[in-house]
Structure 1
Amino acid sequence: MATDMSWLQVIVLSLVQGLTEFLPVSSSGHLRIISTLFWGEDAGASFTAVVQLGTEAAVLVYFAKDIWRILLAWFAGLADKSKRNFDYRMGWMVIFGTIPVGLLGFLGKDFIRENLRNLWITAAMLVLFSFVFIIAERMGRRERSFDQLTMRDALWMGLAQCLALIPGVSRSGGTVSAGLFLGLDREVATRFSFLLAIPAVLASGLFSLPDAFSPEAGQAASGLQLFVGTAIAFAVGYASIAWLLRFVAHHSFAWFAAWRIPVGLLVMALLAAGVLQA
């Protein structure tokens, strides 16, 4: 039987969602850890998915001009072959790159919501995947620009996005690391990562909306709580996007490992000591 979420829990977790959704530290992992540490129970995958709609709305607003341009070019290209420019191809790249996570998320929904939300898995991914960031930064040539993106890039970054279904990995961390391995500039990989996440996260949030009110696993939130939580995530998420794009222009993603690794090790220690329950 699901328990009801308190207003304090909703506000804190929504702030955490907004702060961590776009940073390569895993928002779902942090929500899982903080909810269990301070409230003794997992808020659940459905609450996470719905509140993510707020941060994705922030992406829609922040990249509104780019998204509108791509949509216009995509529809124009469908009607007229002579208008199939880079933005038209970008539309197909986002669609193509979304297919892997869409299929895996739909087919493995129950397994993801229950089995993968074990805190041992979350902690291990926080630590282990940090080394992927470090290796990607060291090996990536970071020389390819936005207009050099290809369908092959979309496929590999789309496959990497599937790893974000595991709390502790990070959607942006997985896709940007894949982009770096492919030789993309860090800021280019980050921008495409944002665009690639839009269809998957919107679909996940809308699909999970009914279950958030009466979840089979996790906690239940009222309609007003979900609305307020989504609004908080939107406001904080918008600021996070602007900060991250400025940061990645001059700094390595590997810096985030300095946060992820200690947090992961701390969670493991708390689990081993019995302070947290997996």
Structure 2
Amino acid sequence: MLAWLIVTAYVPVAVAGVALDKVFRTTLGQHVPTAIFFALNGIALFVTEQLRRGGTARRRAVAVAARGEEQLSAEEQSDLRITRLTMRQAVTIGAAQIIALLPGISRTGSTISAGIFKGLNHEDSARCALLHAAPVIGGAALLKLPPLLGALGNGLRGPLLAGSVAAFVAAYLAPRYLARHFEHRALIPFAICCSVVGLGSLAYFAVA
């Protein structure tokens, strides 16, 4: 069931990514729009956290209900709670990744925010975002790698390899960090970081 939720939620972002790829890369992929979106990403995370604290976001119960579920690991319990989402809720959370096609918008942040508004807690929303990462990143790789392996990739393969290694290390460490972070903290540090970097970048590129 969990696999079907992930695959179904992937469909909207896949369609949008293919249809709007050129727009995201050219018109919106400039320095100033990217800086603006980065700052807006931080503001969105801040607003999400404030609304959650104010009770606007529905909270899905985190207590295990079925007999014997208390014997499951924390990851297994989280997966079980995620599978209790309806298909519509899962697709909505997955579709939030479309926003992350905009340069400067965090895929993980947008998915976590959508998960919170659909009733998941921080930990489950983060896990849901990480589970959604595999098909999205895999699909993007299938779309972008073939041209880069040809003539268009001349001079880019070294940076591409270095970036891929860095991304692999970050992807390996991120789930552990987020799991610990959301045990006692919220989205505010990420919101502040994105807002400061985005506004600073906007100021820099606006006068450059």
TM-score above 0.5, yes or no: yes
Alpha-carbon spacing, 1:182–1:190, altered in 2? closer, same or farther (3 Å): same
Aligned residue number for residue 89 of structure 2: 153
Corresponding residue for residue 183 of structure 2: 249
How far has the Cα of 1:131 moved from its partner?
Answer: 2.2
Matched with 1:23 is: none
CA distance change for structure 1 residues 258 and 95 in 2, over 3 Å: closer, same or farther?
Answer: same
Question: SS of 1:249's equivalent?
Answer: helix
The runs of 5 or more residues in structure 2 that have no matched partner are 52-56, 63-77
- The Cα of 1:123 is off from its aligned counterpart by 1.2
Shift of 1:141: 4.1
Change beyond 3 A, Cα 1:206–1:91: same
Question: Cα gap change, 1:266/1:225 in structure 2, threshold over 3 Å: closer, same or farther?
Answer: closer
Query: Aligned pair 1:190/2:126, yes or no?
Result: yes
Relative to structure 1, is the Cα distance of residues 220 and 162 closer, same or farther in structure 2, using a 3 angstrom cutoff?
Answer: farther
Alpha-carbon distance change, 271 to 171 in structure 1, aligned in 2, over 3 angstroms: same
Aligned-pair Cα RMSD in Å: 2.0
Aligned counterparts of 2:49 and 2:167: Cα–Cα separation in 1 = 29
Contact 2:42–2:191 (Cα < 8 Å) also in 1: yes
- Match in the other structure for 1:221: 156
Deviation at 1:249?
2.1
Are 1:171 and 2:107 an aligned pair?
yes
Cα distance between partner residues in 2 of 1:272 and 1:231: 32
TM-score when normalising by structure 2:
0.79
> Given the alignment of the two structures, is residue 143 of structure 1 paired with residue 79 of structure 2, yes or no?
no
Q: Deviations over 1:48-78 (max 9, x none)?
A: xxxxxxxxxxxxxxxxxxxxxxxxxxxxxxx
Mind listing any 5+ residue stretches in structure 1 that lack a counterpart? Answer: 1-88
Check if 1:118 corresponds to 2:118: no
Measure, in 1, the Cα distance between the counterparts of 2:172 and 2:130: 12
Which residue among 189, 194, 201 is the counterpart of 1:260? 194
Alignment of 1:1-278 (within 5 A): 89-139=1-51, 140-145=57-62, 146=78, 147=81, 148-213=84-149, 214-215=151-152, 220-222=155-157, 225-274=159-208
Structure 2 CA distance, aligned partners of 1:142 and 1:249? Answer: 16
* One-letter identity of the residue aligned with 1:272: A
Identity %: 31
Shift in alpha-carbon separation, 1:262–1:232, aligned structure 2, 3 A: closer
Q: Distance in 1 between matches of 2:183 and 2:89?
A: 20
Alpha-carbon distance, 1:252 to partner: 0.8
Classify 1:226/1:152 alpha carbon distance in 2 versus 1 (closer, same or farther; 3 Å). Answer: same
Contact kept, 8 Å, 1:142 with 1:186, in 2: the verdict is no
Q: Distance in 2 between matches of 1:232 and 1:268?
A: 26
TM-score normalised according to structure 1 size: 0.61
Distance 1:215 1:160 in 2: 31
Letter in 2 for 1:163: I
- Rounded to whole Å, the distance in 2 between the matches of 1:220 and 1:194 is 31
Distance 1:144 1:215 in 2: 50
Determine the C-alpha separation between the residues in 2 that align with 1:232 and 1:114: 25
Q: 1:240 to 1:196 in 2, by over 3 A?
A: closer
Q: Deviations over 1:24-43 (max 9, x none)?
A: xxxxxxxxxxxxxxxxxxxx
- Range with greater deviation from structure 2 (147-156 or 186-195): 147-156
